[in-house]
Amino acid sequence: MASVRYMVNDVHSAVKFYSEALGFELKQEFGPMAILAKDDLTLWVAGPESSAGRPMPDGKKPEPGGWNRFVLQVEDLSALVTTLKKQNVKFRNEIVSGPGGQQILCEDPSGNVIELFQPK
From the centroid of its chain, how far is CA 117? 13
Q: What is the dihedral of CA 41, 3, 17, 97, to 10 degrees?
A: -60
Confidence (pTM): 0.90
Among left, alpha and beta (phi > 0; psi -120 to 50; other), residue 88 is: left
Q: Which fold has domain 3-119?
A: 2,3-Dihydroxybiphenyl 1,2-Dioxygenase; domain 1 (3.10.180)
Q: How does pLDDT run along the chain (120 residues), one tens digit per residue?
A: 679 999 999 999 999 999 999 999 999 999 899 999 999 999 999 999 999 999 999 999 999 998 999 999 999 999 999 999 999 999 999 999 999 999 999 999 999 999 999 999
SS3 category, 65:
coil
